[in-house]
Every structure is written in structure tokens, then in C-alpha cells.
Structure 1
Amino acid sequence: MLNKFALRVKRYVEINHLLSANGRYLVALSGGSDSVALLRVMIDLGYCVEAMHCNFHLRGEESDRDEKFCENLCNEQNVPFHRVHFDTKSYASLHKVSIEMAARELRYDYFEKLRKDLSADAILVAHHRDDSVETLLINLIRGTGLHGLQGISSRNGYIIRPLLDVSRNDIIDYLNSIQQNYVTDSSNNVDDVTRNKIRLNIIPLLNQINPSASADIAKTANRIRQAACIFDEAIKKCIDEVVVKKTSSCTYIDIDRLKSMISSEYVLYSIIHDYSFTPSQIEQISENLDAPSGKIWTSKSHNLLIDRGMIIINSINVDDNQNKIMKIPETGNYYYNENLEFRFSVSEIDSDFKPSKISEVVTLDADKVNFPLVIRHIKNADRFVPFGMNGSKLLSDFLTDNKLTLFDKQKQLVIEDNEGNIVWVVGLRTDNRFKIIKGSSHCLKIEMRRHI
């Protein structure tokens, strides 16, 4: 006969479709009340479980005590027991993270490796309703969006949390009812980290104001979680409307469409927060949608440019070719990089000759072009005589007239001859001085081929 606690967990698992009757599950067992209750209730409910324990060696003899307790408990319950030892302090120092973060990274890396090794279906962890409330409050204090107010989710990849519908008091009552002891982590009783401060100080104060505060906050988080599903669907439609183009490296957002949204800043946030822009940067960008072209913001991974009614987001890549200069000593095939090939050939001009009319191929007067040629990126002071014109023009002005963005300009290649004259702004325009005219006898053909 299942007791009230087990029935409640069973119902939560079934409603949320968390576990399979034929599944194999790994229980994260620390020895504390929460994880012990999780192991025991999973056994009560008839699931196939194995336990895994991490000894972080942070509390001296107490850490070893916890490990021994877990081993003995698993022996008593006939549950397979897996353990691992970590030098957590050295890991934290090496990776320059907090002890708390180091323990988290080590723990979950081990859990996932063991899950794969044992072909287990999922990893069960003992987060409960009060943990979820603490997480919501932490996010609220630090500043968060709608999703940060949902608390802890019942499933995250292979991590499953079957106890989110029960409180810490429910867990203690359950353990007492089955006469199951557990160990206590003394560090949990010291308010030295944010979560402990909230657990030991803030939540008791909230419960003085409203005895059912934790339960009511958890209900609110559940309502927010349901509302977030509707919100996400609406935001997706807005994003589809304002993002007019997306490539492997660039995202283009129509500013007028963005401004027409009910909450343009939140739509913008939903698009670009994954590009490492901070909330304060996103606020600045939202306030400067009418800024003149050329305004740029930079995150750790991306540049964002306002350009002629568009927000253009470009990934920051360390481009080994950005300063590359390739010399072309003679005709032949040359790979500027693995994706871009140039072919140079010379032929006589006969009566059947027709100049190229496609942007990837140009035909020039070979007798006017002096080898060796050079392929390079543009420079600030570059000038050339655009085909069809007589006077020279700054290349930067020409590119602006052709509506190239700053990002496009940074990628633009030119081919110049041995005299330093630009003969071709690659893919856009040749120099008028090298055009084939009546009386030209040889044609230099340059073909650009992209390999994707």
C-alpha cells in the first residue's frame, strides 16, 4: 500500500509523463533528506533505479561519512551503487570558477558520462517545490524575464525532477513515516551563499507573513510557466515577422517592423540575447533604433550594426584571411581560401569575342594589366575608376553608393595589378582603364568560383 507521499509523487510523474515503467534510472544520491527520499519513493513505486554519489572532499570527515551512509543505504535496499571522488578545489582554481560552480560542473559531467556508459534512460535529481521557489526568488532578485519566474522545470534533457510537487516538510514527514534516517550537510545551515540566505532567512519571513507562501509562489510559477507557452508562441510570430533575412553569419532585422510591435524591446531581446548582448546593451539598442547608419554595439561573440533601416547582427570570427594578401604571379587557378577560387586565363580576341556580363566573371585588356596581381581586402584610401566613368572614386564611397553594409565592406576583396591599380572590385565592378576597346588584341579573363 503506497502512502500519501508516494501517491502524490506518482500522480505528478504520471501527469507530466516523466518516467516509463520499463525505464532504467540513475538517482543522484547525496545522503541528505531530499535525495534519500527520492531513492526510497522510486523504490516504493517500483522503478528500476541505481544510485550514484559524488564525494567532493569539501567537508573533511563529513564528506566521507556521507559516502559511507549512501553505500550502506544502497546495500540495505539492494540498489547498485556508483561513486566518484573529485578534487573540487583544484578544479575550481584551474578553471577560475566558484567552488559551488565547480561542484555543479563536475557532478553533472559525471552523471551524464555514467548515464551513457550504463545506457540509462535518465538521471533523477531531488529538487523539490521549495528549491523551485528559491530559484524563482534568486532570479527575481538578480533581475529576470518571464522565463526566470518559472522556477525549476520538471525535465531538462536527461535530467528529471520527480519531487517538484512536494515540499521540504513533506519529505521529512515521509522519511519519518518509513523510519528512514539521513545525513545533514552542515554547510546548508550557514547563510554564506545566496541560496542559503534565501532558504534560512527570506522564506521563513515570507511564511510568517503567509503560512502558505511557498505553496502559493509555486502555484504562481506554474501559472507563469503556462502563460510562457502562449507568450513564446506569440514572440515566435513576431520574430518571424521582423527578421527578414538570416544567413550562417548574419541576421537582418527590419527596424520599422520591429518598432510596430507592441513591445519592440522584448521582441529585440528575444532575438539577440543569445548573441551575448547584455540587458543594458539591449536597452540602449532599443532606445537608438533611429540612430544614423553606422552605429555599432559589440558583445563577446557578435557585432550589431544599424544600417539603413536594418539591424544587422554579425558573428565575430577570427578571420585568418582578413589581412591576407595573395600574389598571382601568372595565369592559372588559385584558391584564396577553401571556399573561394579564382581562375586567370589569357586568350586572343577574335571576331566572336563577347565581354562578360555576369558578376562572377570579368574580361579585361590583358596588355594593360601588369602581373603579378594581388588579391586583398580593401584599404581606407583605395581609389579606382568605375567601369563607364572617367574620373576616379573612393572605393569606400562606391561601396556605400552600392548599399554595402559595414560588415560587407570589411569582407570586400579587390584585385590590383603590379602598379597598384585596382582592376576589379571583386563581384561588383571593373576599372574603366582596363576595359577591352576596339583594337585590343588579348583578353584577361578572371573567374570567381565559390565552393560551399
Structure 2
Amino acid sequence: MTEFAKKTALALAPHLETVRRNGLFCALSGGADSVALLRVLIELGIPVRALHCNFRLRGKESERDEIFVRNLCRDLGIDIQVVRFDTRREAERTGESIEMAARRLRYDWFAKFDAPVAVAHHADDNIETFFLNLLRGSGLRGLTAMRIDNGRGILRPLLHTSRREISEYLKSLQQPFINDSSNTDTRHRRNAVRHRLMPLLRELYPSCDHTLSQTLLHLQAAEEVYHIGLDTLTRRWAPVTEGEKTIYSLSPLLEQPIAGSAWLHEQLSPLGFDSAAVEALFKARTGAVFFSPSHCVTRTARSIEVAPIADRPLPVLHTSEAVRLPDFSPSRRADLATIDADSVIGELFVRKVVVGDRFTPFGMKRGSKLVSDYLTDRRRSRIDKQHALVVCDDIGILWLVGETIDRRAGISDATKRILSLRLLPANCSHCTTPEIKDSATE
């Protein structure tokens, strides 16, 4: 076994027995790195199948690459699957850069396979990633760059191997490969780091590759400690969930603003909020709202509240009618309203609150009130207002859901029939109309 293979086996040690038994896929572009990866996986006795993405970005070169990898796999007796993407059209459709669209298409395709996919990122790539993330202002997660196992089915067996070692391995095998002309285009940031920054650093600090690789290991260790601290803060500052809304108490975050900001960023970043949004949230006035593609977050006087903004189907209104009994007591539950059945004019329906909605809250002697003002008086957040629902008839609002009924729907001495109102989730296959007891027992 070559020294190159021994080093790769060491990197794969936690997975080696499994992949030797079950096999894995190898992402094969035809370049030096991926060809070396394929050859060393074969040397290690791992059953391997190749995957090639033709992004159709370089004209004849893209077709040349596909032909090369097909011929290579034929000569090595390896099965190969090829996918062809219209990457430019996809980037135009999504608004992404060409590079980001290609990366997403590639990893989305890899995710469809039932075994891990090995990719050929190596130590030099990892150092380049560190600098790119550093210059973007990344946090600790970005500065740790790549891991051998990303935890999502991607393995990087060559991550502790240098570009020079890869070149020497291929030379020893007399194994040809192809060159991607775009890798020399320094208009791309990674290529600029590779061809301009790294040669200068190596001239100034000849051992910089080793020391930077060690720095990455130290940062990865620090990240593990960081996550232990985050788990401790999560237990201490545990958010409260109300339906689809998550509520974070503001006071402990402000008492420890540096830790609080970092912790909140970790909570919100999976929802699409960057560090700048979290910093702005800390400084914002009460009532300020920020949006990501999928969620909105607002600051109240005492909390930070987050909820999804995707359109959801309206819940289904279920009703139950009963004769009023002498010992009847109106519902005080937020999820159930009991009203005078004879107050309903026309059909009942559910809708969202809209600007200008008015009603007369139960207990209000005369006049009417904007629903938004009522919710403000009740200290409801902007998120609560965006999700507020009303049950109406042909005349107007009968029930501000979860809050109160309209005065005209209230139970009086003259009420003979009680109508119970309850909302259930739409399209809920396991939901049935709840059994509502006789109104006299509510």
C-alpha cells in the first residue's frame, strides 16, 4: 500500500470498515484531485461508483471532461453516472451566481444517493476556504472551514493531503488527468487566493501550509467548546413556543450582550437571519420587524419573537349548537368561543385581519375599536397581529380568535341557543371535529 493510501485510510478511519463493506460514490470531475481520489479509493479496496456533473459552462471543455471520465471509468472497470445541468438557466431562474447555482445543483444531486459521496477537497482547498471566509467576516463556524465528514453524507478523505502529494501520487501511477482552464482565472476569488495570496505567504512564511492547517484544527476544537457553551445558554435561556411562534426573553440577552448576541445569532441563522440582522435587532426600537425569506422576527418591550411568514391555509371552522340551560357559563378558553346563535346573520367564515378592521369588543359600552388598536392594548406583537384571525358573518366580526367576541354576539338573558365556535388546522388528516359538550357544561 502506498503512503498516499495509508494517509487516506487514516483520514477515513471512522468510516473505513463501513465503506469497504457497503461502498461509496466518488465525485469525479476529471481533474487531478478527483482522479487521485478515485484511484486511492480503488487501492484501498473500497467498492466505488463515480458521479460526474456536466455543468455545460465551458463548451467543448465540458464535453471533453465527460468523455474523459467515462473512458477512465471504463478502463478501471468502475460504474459511472453522469448528470447534465443547464447551470446558466438555473442561475437566471434563482438569481444566484453561476458558482452558487452549480454548487447547489451538485450537492442536491449527491443527496439523492443512498451511500456517502466522497469529494476531493484537500488541505490547500481548506486553507483557501479559511481565507475566503475570513475576508467575508465569517464567524467561528466559517473559520473552521471544511471537515472530513460533514455529517450530511459527504466525506473528504483527502482533506489532510496537500496538492503536492496528490500530484506526486498521480505521477507515480502515470495516471493522466485533465486541466480545467477556469482554475487559472484569477477573477474568481478562490483562484486569486490560490495563485496570488498563497505564493506570497509561502515566500514570507515557508511553513505556512502546516501552521495554517494546525490553526484550523485549533479552531475546530474551539468550536466544539463553543457549542458546549451554546447548549448551556440554551438550557438557561430556553425559548418558549406558542403555536408557530418562538419567544426569546430579552432581559438575559441584554445583561450579557456579547454572549446574548452570539447565542441569538445561532438560533436565528438557520432561519435566514445574518449577524447584521441580529445586531440591528438588539439596537432596534420596540415594534421593529425584520424579514428573512422564510421568517419574520420582531422586538417587543420584553422579548424577541420569531414566526414563519409563509402563507398557510386558513383553519377550518367547526360549530356546535345547543339549547341554553339555566346554569350555562360562557367559555373563557382562547381556542373556543360561545356566542348567541341568533346573533349570526348569514354564513360564518374565517379570514385574516386586514387593515381597518373594526369591532366592538365584548364589554365595551358603545362605539367600536380598530382590531389593531385592541391588539396593541393587549400588548400583542407585530407577529401576533400578522397572524391574527377573525370569524365573521355577513355583518362583520363575531370573534377575534384567541382574544374576545364582538359585543353583539354576547350571551344575554334573552339568549335561547348557544353556538360554540372552534378552529382546527386545515388539511389535517388525523383531525376530527371535536366533541363539544352541551353549552351548559362549558
Query: Is structure 2 residue 272 aligned with structure 1 residue 257?
Result: no
In structure 2, which of residues 292, 296, 302 is the aligned counterpart of residue 299 of structure 1? Answer: 292
Query: Is structure 2 residue 162 aligned with structure 1 residue 167?
Result: yes
For the residue of structure 2 that corresponds to 1:342, the secondary structure is strand
Match in the other structure for 1:408: 384
1:104-253 pair list within 5 angstroms: 104-113=103-112, 115-116=113-114, 121-156=115-150, 157-253=152-248
- Letter of the structure 2 residue corresponding to residue 312 of structure 1: E
How far residue 99 of structure 1 moved from its aligned partner, in angstroms, is: 3.3
How far residue 196 of structure 1 moved from its aligned partner, in angstroms, is: 0.8
1:2-151 pair list within 5 angstroms: 2-14=1-13, 20-113=19-112, 115-116=113-114, 121-151=115-145
In structure 2, which of residues 404, 408, 411 is the aligned counterpart of residue 429 of structure 1? Answer: 404
Q: CA 1:362 to 1:153, structure 2 compared with 1: closer, same or farther past 3 Å?
A: same
8 Å CA contact retained: 2:117, 2:153:
yes
Once residues 62 and 418 of structure 1 are traced to their aligned partners in structure 2, the CA distance between those partners, rounded to angstroms, is: 67
Q: CA 1:18 to 1:443, structure 2 compared with 1: closer, same or farther past 3 Å?
A: same
Size of the alignment, in residue pairs? 419
Task: Provide Cα deviations, 1:404-441, integer angstroms capped at 9, x if missing partner.
Answer: 33333444444566665x55444443455665555x26
Q: CA 1:73 to 1:252, structure 2 compared with 1: closer, same or farther past 3 Å?
A: same
Once residues 25 and 449 of structure 1 are traced to their aligned partners in structure 2, the CA distance between those partners, rounded to angstroms, is: 49
Match in the other structure for 1:287: 283
- Letter of the structure 2 residue corresponding to residue 137 of structure 1: F
Once residues 385 and 246 of structure 1 are traced to their aligned partners in structure 2, the CA distance between those partners, rounded to angstroms, is: 27
- Letter of the structure 1 residue corresponding to residue 318 of structure 2: E
TM-score, length of structure 1 as denominator length: 0.82
Q: Percent identity?
A: 32
- Letter of the structure 2 residue corresponding to residue 21 of structure 1: R
8 Å CA contact retained: 2:289, 2:382:
no
How far residue 202 of structure 1 moved from its aligned partner, in angstroms, is: 0.7
8 Å CA contact retained: 1:373, 1:415:
no
Q: Higher mean Cα deviation, 90-99 or 206-215?
A: 90-99
Once residues 399 and 87 of structure 2 are traced to their aligned partners in structure 1, the CA distance between those partners, rounded to angstroms, is: 59
Once residues 32 and 164 of structure 1 are traced to their aligned partners in structure 2, the CA distance between those partners, rounded to angstroms, is: 16
Q: CA 1:142 to 1:19, structure 2 compared with 1: closer, same or farther past 3 Å?
A: farther
Once residues 356 and 385 of structure 2 are traced to their aligned partners in structure 1, the CA distance between those partners, rounded to angstroms, is: 10
Query: Is structure 2 residue 347 aligned with structure 1 residue 354?
Result: no
Q: CA 1:79 to 1:372, structure 2 compared with 1: closer, same or farther past 3 Å?
A: closer
Q: CA 1:63 to 1:251, structure 2 compared with 1: closer, same or farther past 3 Å?
A: same
How far residue 106 of structure 1 moved from its aligned partner, in angstroms, is: 3.9
In structure 2, which of residues 360, 381, 386 is the aligned counterpart of residue 384 of structure 1? Answer: 360
How far residue 271 of structure 1 moved from its aligned partner, in angstroms, is: 1.3
Match in the other structure for 1:311: 304
Structure 2 residue runs of 5 or longer lacking an equivalent are 426-430, 432-442
Match in the other structure for 2:274: 278
- Letter of the structure 1 residue corresponding to residue 20 of structure 2: A
How far residue 218 of structure 1 moved from its aligned partner, in angstroms, is: 1.5
Q: CA 1:248 to 1:305, structure 2 compared with 1: closer, same or farther past 3 Å?
A: same
Q: Higher mean Cα deviation, 260-269 or 215-224?
A: 260-269
Match in the other structure for 1:333: none
How far residue 53 of structure 1 moved from its aligned partner, in angstroms, is: 3.0
8 Å CA contact retained: 1:243, 1:252:
no
Task: Provide Cα deviations, 1:305-343, integer angstroms capped at 9, x if missing partner.
Answer: 22230111121132565xxxxxxxxxxxxxxx33x3233
For the residue of structure 1 that corresponds to 2:235, the secondary structure is helix
Task: Provide Cα deviations, 1:5-26, integer angstroms capped at 9, x if missing partner.
Answer: 2211122211576853212122
Q: CA 1:409 to 1:179, structure 2 compared with 1: closer, same or farther past 3 Å?
A: closer
Pair member with larger Rg: 1
